[in-house]
Amino acid sequence: MIVSKPKSAPRWTTSVCLLAALCCVFIPAAAVKHENFKTCDQSGFCKRNRQFADDVIASSTVSPYALDPASITFKDGQLSGVVLKTLADGDKVQLPLTVTFLESGVARVTLDEEKRAKGQIELRHGSKARKERYNETGKWALVGGLRPSTGAALGADAEQGHTNVFYGKGGKQQAIIRHQPFAIEFQKDGETHVKFNEQGLLNMEHWRAKVEKQQEEKKEDGEESKDSEKKIEEKTEDESTWWEEKFGGNTDTKPKGPEAVGLDISFPGYEHVFGIPEHAARLSLKTTRGGDDAFTEPYRLYNADVFEYELDSPMTLYGAIPLMQAHRKGSTVGVFWLNAAETWIDITKTKKSANPFARSKSNTDTHTHWVSESGLLDVFVFLGPTPQDLTRQYGELTGYTAMPQSFAIAYHQCRWNYVSDDDVKDVDRKFDKFNIPFDVIWLDIEYTQEKKYFTWDPLTFDDPIDMLEQLDKHKRKLVTIIDPHIKNTNDYHVIDELKKQDFAVMNKDAEQFEGWCWPGSSMWVDCFNPAAITWWKSLFKYDSFKGTAHNTFIWNDMNEPSVFNGPETTMPKDNLHYENWEHRDVHNLNGMTFHNATYQAMVERKKGELRRPFVLTRSFYSGSQRSAAMWTGDNLSQWSHLGASIPMVLNQGISGFPFAGADVGGFFGNPSKELLTRWYQAGIYYPFFRGHAHIDTRRREPYLAGSPYTEIITQALRLRYQLLPAWYTAFHEASTTGAPIIRPNFYVHPEDERGFAVDDQLYIGSTGLLAKPVTQEGADSVSVYIADEQPYYDYFDYTTYKGAGHHTVQAPLEKIPLLMQGGHVIPRRDRPRRSSGLMKYDPFTLVVVLDNDGNASGSIYLDDGETFDYEQGAFIHRHFSFDGKRNALTSSNLVTAVRSVKCESYLKTMDKVRVEKIIVVGAPSTWKDKEEVIVMEEGTKESKRRKPVPLEYHASQGKKAAWAVIRDPKVGITRGWKIDFGSGSAHVHHGHEH
């Protein structure tokens, strides 16, 4: 089949430009092309369900869904039954229901559809599409947490009309399952927090037989139609998009007809809802149907390559995580809508009159309305009570962030494109010349021979191994891009194998689908197919992908998938995947199946060389965190995009996929030097930190900016490198508890109502480091919001900020606003190096930041930063604690690792690594005449056990807090020790003197 060139080539398709033998001049465009993407009104099922919602709410219609009491059974933590949907003609559709109460305290509700009498769901003649509702989203997204609770029990005093189940810790949670109309209320401590179908918007569009046009015409002629009775119940519905839908010149055939699932989910007493990335929008989600500053469209989840996306918008972007959390003082609850089809979410809020007795409850109820195009209704309900519980429970289900190699959290230098291996080597040398640290350099699509992945352009990259060797000298890495579209051309083994083995996604007629992407005509590998995954893995072996080595890693882009000539720049929904599931059913999973396959390929690429893979993905779904990092795609070099990146990356964090970042400098356009500098100063706080730029932009490696910008950017990069131990520890926490790496105010201070909507500043892990990036042009100060009464100290000069509320922090260009909350011990490495790999055995500095009571604590997690040996105990996890009453700082083991062989040999490699400096910020004035401290280290010889080490005290000056420093206390990072600061309680008069 021959696919014609797209009618209007996207403006960023360089290949298309080259085909036209034109020079591609980048023209910064004003805005996203709205006409390329559907509004709710243009998406049949969304329009139908919004209309349905309006009708139901306007007419107070009773929901036609009822749980048949006779069908209810309860066994082993699971309630089963049948929900009956009564149609207008009295006919009933059977919807099997399960409500499973999980050990974790989470409840899961699924509603399926019973296959009806055969003829009724006969598909379009000859269609190959599967005739069931897609029920495998969980297979891709879920990895655990599904054990049913043994303690869940039916309520003994269940009144008629509903069934109660008590579950969760101590049976303090309750699900009240109402029979008619079918609805569920989820309670904790006797109060309702989440309600299903309160508004009556539950809508399972049941399968039905297609009434052929001819029949309708006949009917008009006065002839009796066999289906006339059936038509009565359907005639009031809008059928225009049931069997076919057109958009932008594409026709979506729908062999299965309408099959959307919709439900309203309310959060009574909750004013703030967060989550459902990816959108370029504020963290606290806006209403979408009226209200102050509301959106007019629902939030959409339909992974797509949105060119020049707009800000402050509910439009879809590249990835989807259908997890929403509702937060108020004292409680966080949430829902996870496990469905991978196109999904829209409306949000409304209703205000009640103030209730002076409700202390924690807000007077606002938030109502949400979820609609997906196909598949099951499958929803998890979390009752918290804290934001930490929610991220942990969601992580139990979908997996925690994979612990990355240590290089992956350092700085990545990318552009489209480094044009040759000499170019790469030159950039590598220039970074060294200017003493700027970096760990990874990236190759975009131009490194390939004519966009054929797994090949190198022989003219420009004739010796990739030599290039990799040069990088390896400073422990640097290379990332090369591999996209899912495979060039459809002759003499290319990858396409030959793809075709021969039938591993490509198929079109609706079950022929290999052909579309248009960077290489021109292309086919897409179908990673839903296990055999295709096995084949995909083989392509990454060193003897297959020649020119790669142990320091080569992979970038998976365009995996929404982006199809330039497809509807909404993606694949037709009636395309078919493995086992004949329609693309419509699995669209939002597509990107994840691809980067998962790449991850597996990296694990297996060489026998005996097991390293943690690094894969960057643009498209994602719930579970992507297990195998990839993400970035926010093609942003613009504009101040507003710099600002928007902070809530976007924060949202990824609270939604279980925290290894996230945005293109530093902005992808499209040329940033001013000031913007570039500020972007680096902000980018150091992205968990994934990469500079990237479009092919038509000017070069902007940090050393090109010139004085003073280069020096200022270098300082920012050094700050990231200095704090890598703190970042690595935060990643470890994410990988074991699901906690975000950078955290919004509400997550750290869940009781502080004033800060719930704050989304322009962030906390790094559990370190107490609070950063407020400058995102305004010309700004020389920022207003930092402080949530509590602890002292906050400027990271650089210890200026003290105290008292809940806003504080002005000076931020001239060379200054990065970064505060340290009292109460933490922050681990750092202060020696500037060329790459993180070269810091592996560097000594540590501990910054002890005292709180109001003179106490502080913190931790450090370390492992070899490369292998999976940490899974066998090869790690160091220490707890540092400064006790203000006893005036002592201790280092103790946080987790006692199994002293495995791997553990012993790792500890040996770290044996000589020491703490070279301890800084105490907010040092008590009682220390001012102190000259030394006593250091005791475990495991050292008796004679060395107690040794005095000098203490240097710096009195406070004005607002600048007093601080003390101990140089080279000669204590190891692997051992326990104690530093005795002698008599004089630390909690007396710490901080600045008046």
Nearest to 660 by CA among 431, 404, 959: 404
Residues 537 and 601: their CA atoms lie apart, in Å, by: 4
The yes or no reply on residue 444 touching ligand NOJ (CB under 6 A) is yes
Residue position matching structure tokens 């050393």? 703
User: Could you tell me the smallest distance in angstroms from the CB atom of residue 444 to ligand NOJ?
Assistant: 5
| Cβ proximity to ligand NOJ, 634 vs 701, nearer residue | 634
| Cβ proximity to ligand NOJ, 633 vs 744, nearer residue | 633
Bridge-based pairing of strands 183-188 and 343-351 is: unpaired
Q: Which of 380, 394, 416, 906 binds ligand NOJ (CB under 6 A)?
A: 416
Residues 230 and 91: their CA atoms lie apart, in Å, by: 9
Q: Which of residues 569-628 bind ligand NOJ (CB under 6 A)?
A: 618
Dihedral of alpha carbons 246, 252, 256, 259, sign: negative
User: Could you tell me the smallest distance in angstroms from the CB atom of residue 410 to ligand NOJ?
Assistant: 20
User: Could you tell me the smallest distance in angstroms from the CB atom of residue 414 to ligand NOJ?
Assistant: 8
Cα 268 → chain centroid: 27
| Cβ proximity to ligand NOJ, 23 vs 70, nearer residue | 23
Catalytic residue check, 365: no
Q: Which of 634, 696, 701, 916 binds ligand NOJ (CB under 6 A)?
A: 634
Dihedral of alpha carbons 218, 221, 225, 231, sign: positive
Q: How many CB atoms lie within 10 A of CB 223?
A: 10
User: Could you tell me the smallest distance in angstroms from the CB atom of residue 515 to ligand NOJ?
Assistant: 16
| Cβ proximity to ligand NOJ, 24 vs 813, nearer residue | 24
Query: Could you give the string, one character per residue 834-863, with x where binding to ligand NOJ holds by CB under 6 A and - elsewhere?
Result: ------------------------------
Nearest to 962 by CA among 850, 827, 808: 850
User: Could you tell me the smallest distance in angstroms from the CB atom of residue 538 to ligand NOJ?
Assistant: 24
Residue in the shown chain whose Cβ atom is closest to ligand NOJ: 416
Give the Cα-Cα-Cα angle 367, 373, 377 (nearest 5 degrees): 60
Nearest to 926 by CA among 863, 877, 867, 854: 854
- Cis bond upstream, residue 255 (ω within 30): no
Catalytic residue check, 342: no
Amino acid of residue 729: T
Q: Which of 200, 572, 633, 750 binds ligand NOJ (CB under 6 A)?
A: 633
For residue 209 the two structure tokens come to 């037989």
Nearest to 743 by CA among 647, 611, 665, 838: 647
| Cβ proximity to ligand NOJ, 184 vs 517, nearer residue | 517
Residues 153 and 176: their CA atoms lie apart, in Å, by: 12
- In the set 264, 308, 342, 634, the catalytic residue is 634
| Cβ proximity to ligand NOJ, 633 vs 791, nearer residue | 633
Residues 675 and 774: their CA atoms lie apart, in Å, by: 10
User: Could you tell me the smallest distance in angstroms from the CB atom of residue 694 to ligand NOJ?
Assistant: 7
| Cβ proximity to ligand NOJ, 635 vs 677, nearer residue | 635
- Identify the three-state secondary structure at position 754: helix
Q: Which of residues 445-474 bind ligand NOJ (CB under 6 A)?
A: 445
For residue 148 the two structure tokens come to 């049913």
| Cβ proximity to ligand NOJ, 123 vs 695, nearer residue | 695
User: Could you tell me the smallest distance in angstroms from the CB atom of residue 667 to ligand NOJ?
Assistant: 6
| Cβ proximity to ligand NOJ, 168 vs 633, nearer residue | 633
CB 513 within 8 A of CB 524: yes
Query: Could you give the string, one character per residue 371-410, with x where binding to ligand NOJ holds by CB under 6 A and - elsewhere?
Result: ----------------------------------------
| Cβ proximity to ligand NOJ, 24 vs 804, nearer residue | 24
For residue 898 the two structure tokens come to 């199994």
CB 265 within 8 A of CB 196: yes
User: Could you tell me the smallest distance in angstroms from the CB atom of residue 569 to ligand NOJ?
Assistant: 11
Query: Could you give the string, one character per residue 309-348, with x where binding to ligand NOJ holds by CB under 6 A and - elsewhere?
Result: ----------------------------------------
Q: Which of residues 682-741 bind ligand NOJ (CB under 6 A)?
A: 692
Using CB under 6 A as the binding criterion, the count of chain residues that bind ligand NOJ stands at: 10
| Cβ proximity to ligand NOJ, 416 vs 680, nearer residue | 416
Q: How many CB atoms lie within 10 A of CB 26?
A: 15
Q: Which of residues 652-681 bind ligand NOJ (CB under 6 A)?
A: 667
Catalytic residue check, 560: yes
Distance (Å) of CA 69 to CA 80, 198, 734: 10, 19, 43
- In the set 271, 396, 560, 883, the catalytic residue is 560
Residues 631 and 619: their CA atoms lie apart, in Å, by: 9
The yes or no reply on residue 475 touching ligand NOJ (CB under 6 A) is no
The yes or no reply on residue 255 touching ligand NOJ (CB under 6 A) is no
| Cβ proximity to ligand NOJ, 558 vs 684, nearer residue | 558
- In the set 557, 568, 760, 869, the catalytic residue is 557
Q: Which of residues 147-166 bind ligand NOJ (CB under 6 A)?
A: none
Residues 370 and 194: their CA atoms lie apart, in Å, by: 14
| Cβ proximity to ligand NOJ, 585 vs 634, nearer residue | 634
Give the Cα-Cα-Cα angle 307, 309, 315 (nearest 5 degrees): 115
User: Could you tell me the smallest distance in angstroms from the CB atom of residue 343 to ligand NOJ?
Assistant: 23
User: Could you tell me the smallest distance in angstroms from the CB atom of residue 452 to ligand NOJ?
Assistant: 14
Q: Residue 263: CB partners within 8 Å, gap ≥ 6?
A: 196, 197, 201, 202, 203, 369, 370, 377, 379
Distance (Å) of CA 909 to CA 840, 904, 912: 10, 9, 8
Please write down the HEC assignment for all residues of 444-466.
CHHHCECCECCCCCCCCCCCHHH
User: Could you tell me the smallest distance in angstroms from the CB atom of residue 683 to ligand NOJ?
Assistant: 15
- Cis bond upstream, residue 64 (ω within 30): no
Q: Residue 431: CB partners within 8 Å, gap ≥ 6?
A: 413, 437, 438, 701, 702, 703, 834
User: Could you tell me the smallest distance in angstroms from the CB atom of residue 483 to ligand NOJ?
Assistant: 7
- Which parts of 525-619 are beta strand (E)? 552-556, 615-617
User: Could you tell me the smallest distance in angstroms from the CB atom of residue 555 to ligand NOJ?
Assistant: 8
CB 702 within 8 A of CB 680: yes
Residues 592 and 139: their CA atoms lie apart, in Å, by: 12
Cα 12 → chain centroid: 26
Q: Which of 557, 560, 701, 869 binds ligand NOJ (CB under 6 A)?
A: 557
Nearest to 318 by CA among 576, 522, 528, 595: 595
Residues involved in catalysis: 557, 560, 634
Per CB under 6 A, residues contacting ligand NOJ are: 416, 444-445, 481, 557, 618, 633-634, 667, 692
